[in-house]
Structure 1
């Protein structure tokens, strides 16, 4: 039983005041006095009909409005169905929906017979409609086919008439040509009152007045006959050439003419010959100017020559060059091939963007102003370089480095009492040679840190060489003077061997004794730096577009490519466009060494740059340009140049070089590595250090290297090459770990470069396997030979070296030449069998399966041992 509706509820439902609703009900003939009275459905419908009539939307009586024609009931029932059993048991929801349409007839049901009759009636009407449509389409097709046949007959008649006219013109005397010329000069025949230039044919004279001509190809124009739209195209042109007539007759026929039809049998020219729109075959070979760089692939060369790749390969083969379509050839070979094929080779001018960049940078030069010095701290491992910088910066940097040693270049600028100084901290390990060389080239002053208790070490000597090669002044900081074994005088004397002479010895090198732990002497070092910078008179352009060098680069997962750069000239600001090696981009953000965001960076200030298109190489130069277009062009051009250089190097591996290396490659094993590190400098150091471990027995190949975490692509490359994956301060993501586990790859994580080199040595040693060596343990000299019925010839010998043991292999030497190799069958001392006979003792030796032994021979006893091969 549904809840009853009162006048108050109905007013709230239709959003109408109660008083107004009572007034409307009264006007509809249903007076109500109380808002809480119940309103029935019939009364609601009566009110609705009244309101519709009042608004002019219908004059139907209330009874008709209230009587619905059909009622549709929808019912849905939901059930749960259990499928399967045990662990596989599942519950499925099943919904059954039912829709019933009722009419207000007897019992409220629809008559199925009337509904079926209605459906049959509609189906028959649809069938009749489709039949009539098909008949109409068939009639249209028949009429269209008749029109096509009619046009074809007209075209054939026109072509026949043209041939007859051409034959008559060829047989006519010369005056006929003059008549033709006169007709050609006559005015157009379609003006009012003009007679036709040629007499009309019989079929034209018999045609009714005002009728259109059946033959639309005729040149004659009849007075009083209206031209159609096709003949209007040729109005005023009384004489047509053979090609025009053929084209006109062709245009009058719809559709493509049949092969061998009247158009091709007549005087119409072929599609490729001589017409105004026909294709003319070139009379001479075309010569092209082909731009060639330092190297080019055969496919690219074929594209520039507009030839098939196979033809270019054949031409190279005739020249004696074996190259496939995907291989690259050098410039000279490509130039010879181009000349052989009849074209002109030219050198590709690849310096357009670079020239524009140089001119662009030259426009931004400004006034030189003093700038802070850039100081690089160099020296041997664990001599206190980072600790010294730590004391100056009042931070703890060395404690955060893996193993307490610096793994990559750190760049900092420090505001001291002596002014701003920019410091570069370089690693001291032997593998980071390229980093130290790069640091020496960027710097103004080199501080060589030497431990007072350790003296001059290999990396100290290397740092001296780098500083001399870069022609940079040197300041020696003798560190750890607070230790008990410190001897600064010994350090100064050792430096004399490398031509580093202290000022107190009459030289020009400042040497400061200090302790990075206690801070003694650090102020003296800052004074020495300030004095040296004043002598150098360091200056740079403080305004304008910036330029500088990349110190270090890395790939941050959240921020993308990050480059630590040192600004050398100009002012680097946020929003600048810059080109950096083969990368380009717009500066999205600048960060100093503490991680704080800055807006600008001036000369000698190191900052981190975000916004590059990729990770640049450490040591690349960067330049700020005016717009993104120039930056992109320069970067793409440099990338092309680098690719060509790689192709030239690859092209150098000719067939004869490969054949020469085949014999060696059969004996040489290989160890493939995939190296991923956190910064670009570490990647370079690892590649150089590990590839240097190669020797004649094993070759170490770095197939993939890069900055950032180990990705799925790296893991797939390692799986294809069966390589060992090395992660230096990086980790593998989930997809990469899945590939590594499924393929059983060797993945190793490291944070100290010492461990990387040691582990690779162990892996390489395992690949090399065991080596069998022969070690001579004793030599006996034959003095006499005795005959034995059991052993044959028995050599009475004296052991002159080492020990002779039973059951060991032996060799018989005569005149220091091996004449027999076998086993020792019997070893006796007097009549007793013994296991070994030592030096200076006589013995009897029976050689198994050998009786040709003579006095004076030597019997060499040796043993085979297995030794692990190592690098």
Structure 2
């Protein structure tokens, strides 16, 4: 028995809304009470005929088509094409449905054989067409080569003709000179006959002038052979003795020939000139005292060493150092000075300073980027979630992504910039989740600069807080449109109207108050109002008309970066133009490399990333700084040159900043005497670059009149032996934020008694350093590691999930204590023990060297080689 078709199934087959299909059936004269009723084949044919008549087509019975001996097949194919965020009502935003219809009429006897023959004929025709095109291309190339050979032969023939004419002209001049010499000889002979003293008188022989004329003609004919290939350039040079002497030196001017030919061949010395003057005129090495000061143009870049500046000024290095000392700048000859100081000293010494030209590699990179242009298309919006700490930013993003991120964050607060792209039913949207803590000001500012729309999350029960006001300032400074999401409206003490009133103080006026800011009330816990927020985001993106070039080389910006011990430098980037593909060469700040792999926010490897899509890339030469731009280039050479030039320039500027001490600063330091500040030196290591930067700035900002906090070293990744040596040399404390020290570093730390502290929440770092700096004594909460276990093998249990078969390598593992999971000395999860077993028995603790099974609560991604760290928090009274 065949399956019956309901109206709902028919609507899905023809891709028509159920309500619309019911209306069409009613208009066709058929009454149906609901979408779950069965529709028969006769009713389908009746509806089909009604729709054909409604579109102005005649209804043709099926029997008539069969009787005509022909069969007509109507084929249709549906496709969905992504075009950005536009779309019609009722369809997913960002897609267009394309239906391709094709009608085929077959006569009896025609079938698959005929279709196969047509296909073979089409392939044969295409092959013949391609063969003809290839022959035409070969013929065109042969004609072009023949034309080039003909032009080259014409040029060679023209050169030979010019040489021949020159030779004939020189030979004619030589013959005329010989005839003139013979005539002079004949006149001399006749004169001798007329005035002789007898037949036996002596007279010149006629053969001698003839022989001299022949020699002159031979010499004249020989001249062009010396100047072969260059005679055209000296065609107008007079044929005198000086030209004959320097016939092969065509680069000399007439004055040079005159200078070199003077006082030679025994022609005598110039009258009234001394031997010294004669030698200077002949050699051209005489020194004449300048009548005016020599002013030189000196090209100066962003920084220049004193030695290089002295060389460009043609002065001694000591003189330039003296001049700098008189201006109040104390610098040695090997130190660098900045551009402004170099310009001042150059003008003080009477020369002119000009700005140095741009680097060749940078210019080539700029031209390289400009030549990649294409057609712009609609792109997904980039949305940044901002607001005060614990107002529900990550929870809102969790609900949209259907994941659990906030539970994995230490202390429940976000400490990095998280980047995700979400394919919602409303369209594709890329989200950036920024931290809300006060220490992450630069990270929020960087998020506002990267984004198209800022979603400001404000808790309805808490109102406007300091980081809320700061986020508004960042959005206004970046000139980014703002959407306010009033969160936690499901709470009993929620008051959205108070939030809207408080925002008026910061010139954020809701639409209902006559402003232009969209405000959406929602709950990230229950999901109420989240769809309204997505609609508001897509509406704002349509107003902005966001476009980007989807083809060509990619450009973008680094959102976050970190050093992974197993994978190397890892950078999270946001593509802004073009397509970033695996295998591309790119330059990113002072780093360069080739993209070895691309990963999305879920850790899945992808091949291509387009505009507004955040991805993680592997393959860079080092860890780039957050906020650096990246550009895809054609080859590795250009990327390496640009990165090296940028690194050199940055190093020079850093030397300038530390080297140019002025006399006033030194005297001020000398005048302080014994009233020097106490200094607290710190070495800070963190898991990602943005957190390290925020920690460094937050800690240095805690300095006061009594104590100065210096971060003498900072970096990304685990604490290494070099970090420990730096701390031992400078008597500094080491702070590890979500990172750990390796074995060699721990040995140095233990031998030197260095204060090493681990943290996972930025509150604890700032609070402890603030209390010490302020001189407030109180109880200190420390985390003491009591044991470490190494995971040997992972087992799957139906009740407890993943069980890590481990060996305790240090201390003791106690049940009920908090734990952390480490991978490559970096914290990847913080939680608590779910179970602790020794063989089949539950135990309270397992000591060093003992095997055990550990169940981690809420985490099943433990792998062999990981370390499980058990710790406890203790309170210690501070003492001076």
Q: Calculate the TM-score normalised by the size of structure 2.
A: 0.53
- 1:751 alignment partner in structure 2: 760
- 1:379 alignment partner in structure 2: 387
Shift of 1:607: 0.4
Residues 340-381 of structure 1: CA deviation (Å, up to 9, x unaligned): 999986533234332222221111110000101111101111
1:541 pairs with one of 549, 552, 568: 549
* 1:682 partnered with 2:682: no
Matches within 5 A, 1:455-854: 455-664=463-672, 666-765=675-774
Q: Is the 8 Å Cα contact of residues 391 and 458 (structure 2) preserved in structure 1?
A: yes
Matches within 5 A, 1:126-141: none
Residues 783-833 of structure 1: CA deviation (Å, up to 9, x unaligned): xxxxxxxxxxxxxxxxxxxxxxxxxxxxxxxxxxxxxxxxxxxxxxxxxxx
Shift of 1:606: 0.1
Q: Is the 8 Å Cα contact of residues 556 and 574 (structure 2) preserved in structure 1?
A: yes
Could you tell me how far apart the structure 2 residues matched to 1:472 and 1:340 are? 47
Q: Is the 8 Å Cα contact of residues 331 and 661 (structure 2) preserved in structure 1?
A: no
Shift of 1:677: 0.9
* 1:331 partnered with 2:327: no
Q: Is the 8 Å Cα contact of residues 685 and 718 (structure 2) preserved in structure 1?
A: yes
Could you tell me how far apart the structure 2 residues matched to 1:615 and 1:329 are? 29
Unpaired stretches in structure 1, ≥5 consecutive residues: 1-272, 770-867
Change (3 A) 1:321 1:470: closer
Matches within 5 A, 1:255-266: none
* 1:367 partnered with 2:393: no
Change (3 A) 1:282 1:740: farther
Unpaired stretches in structure 2, ≥5 consecutive residues: 1-278, 779-877
Could you tell me how far apart the structure 1 residues matched to 2:448 and 2:688 are? 19
Q: Is the 8 Å Cα contact of residues 316 and 337 (structure 1) preserved in structure 2?
A: yes
Residues 647-679 of structure 1: CA deviation (Å, up to 9, x unaligned): 343355312123224445734221111111111
Shift of 1:742: 1.7
Q: Is the 8 Å Cα contact of residues 697 and 768 (structure 1) preserved in structure 2?
A: no
Shift of 1:552: 0.6
Change (3 A) 1:289 1:733: farther
Could you tell me how far apart the structure 2 residues matched to 1:612 and 1:296 are? 30
Residues 62-111 of structure 1: CA deviation (Å, up to 9, x unaligned): xxxxxxxxxxxxxxxxxxxxxxxxxxxxxxxxxxxxxxxxxxxxxxxxxx
Could you tell me how far apart the structure 2 residues matched to 1:735 and 1:308 are? 50
Q: Is the 8 Å Cα contact of residues 591 and 609 (structure 1) preserved in structure 2?
A: yes
Shift of 1:282: 9.5
Query: Comparing 731-740 with 430-439, which one deviates more in the overlay?
Result: 731-740
Could you tell me how far apart the structure 2 residues matched to 1:662 and 1:318 are? 20
Query: Comparing 669-678 with 335-344, which one deviates more in the overlay?
Result: 335-344
Change (3 A) 1:332 1:394: closer
SS in 2 for 1:484: coil
Could you tell me how far apart the structure 2 residues matched to 1:322 and 1:346 are? 24
Change (3 A) 1:532 1:745: same
Could you tell me how far apart the structure 2 residues matched to 1:627 and 1:289 are? 36
Matches within 5 A, 1:402-413: 402-413=410-421
Change (3 A) 1:538 1:340: closer
Matches within 5 A, 1:300-449: 300-301=308-309, 313=321, 316=324, 321-334=329-342, 346-449=354-457
Change (3 A) 1:544 1:670: same
The count of corresponding residues between Structure 1 and Structure 2 is: 498
Q: Calculate the TM-score normalised by the size of structure 1.
A: 0.53
SS in 2 for 1:324: coil
Shift of 1:645: 2.8
Could you tell me how far apart the structure 2 residues matched to 1:306 and 1:595 are? 60
Shift of 1:526: 1.1
- 1:783 alignment partner in structure 2: none
Structure of greater relative contact order (alpha carbons < 8 Å, 6+ residues apart)? 2
Change (3 A) 1:456 1:721: same
Residues 308-351 of structure 1: CA deviation (Å, up to 9, x unaligned): 86676466557765322343223354456668999986533234
Change (3 A) 1:320 1:729: closer
Q: Is the 8 Å Cα contact of residues 703 and 773 (structure 2) preserved in structure 1?
A: no
Could you tell me how far apart the structure 1 residues matched to 2:472 and 2:645 are? 37
Could you tell me how far apart the structure 2 residues matched to 1:695 and 1:442 are? 34
Change (3 A) 1:506 1:311: closer
Could you tell me how far apart the structure 1 residues matched to 2:701 and 2:721 are? 28
Q: Is the 8 Å Cα contact of residues 331 and 659 (structure 2) preserved in structure 1?
A: no
Shift of 1:433: 0.8
Could you tell me how far apart the structure 2 residues matched to 1:489 and 1:320 are? 61
Shift of 1:506: 2.2
